[in-house]
Amino acid sequence: TQALIQNKDPCQWILDCVNGEDTLELIDGLVCVSIVVTIPPYPHRQGGPDVDGKPIYGYDKKHVHLCDARLGDNVPVPAGEGVVRIPSIVTAGEYVAVICGTGKTISGARRSALAATEKFMVKNKQYRNEIGSKMQKQLPDIQKHGYAQGLEP
């Protein structure tokens, strides 16, 4: 998308929509690219013990939106030169997170999303690293139809 939502409460915006008001405020000039992070056996969703309880490390709230995740007990977490066991975030299914990156260009947004994805750690993570590249190639055709004007690949 070529615009991002201002720092507003999304629940309030949804309630406003239900009440017939559109209070969404956008920031023009930014592009967002999102990468889905999964673990096997995705896309063959099965659930079960193979995908539940894997520790998740290296995520930040600015880029990472957790999906199939929960608070786990007694999770090994690096601390200094050792490891401590504390309550921490673990997987609760195969569809672990959506990681978003923003930038003034599609390539900038891609770099931001990929950098955050590289820092995000969960055992056996899977993701597509070409996300956004097709949009870069199709941008001239999209702009011919009047969309994404001023956006650069």
The owner of tokens 């507003």 is 8
CA 47 to CA 58: how far, in whole Å? Answer: 23
Cβ contact 35:98 at 8 Å: yes
pLDDT given at position 49: 67
pLDDT digits (tens, 9 = 90+) for 119-143: 999 999 999 988 888 888 888 888 8
Three-class SS state of 112: helix
Nearest by Cα to 85 from 97, 93, 77? 77
The answer to whether the CB of 97 falls within 8 A of the CB of 64 is yes
Q: Please, what is the average pLDDT of the chain?
A: 86
Q: What is the pTM of this model?
A: 0.79
Three-class secondary structure of residue 14 per DSSP: helix
What span, in angstroms and rounded, lies between the C-alpha atoms of 98 and 7? 18
Q: What amino acid occupies position 3?
A: A
**Helix, strand counts (H, E) of the chain:** 3, 9
Write out the two tokens for 142: 């999209």
**Range in 25-39, 52-66, 86-100 with the lowest mean pLDDT:** 25-39
Decide: 106 and 134 in contact? Cβ < 8 Å. Answer: no
Write the CA distances from 29 to 17, 82, 90, integer angstroms: 24, 44, 35
Residue 1 scores a pLDDT above 50: no
pLDDT confidence band for 2 (50 / 70 / 90): very low
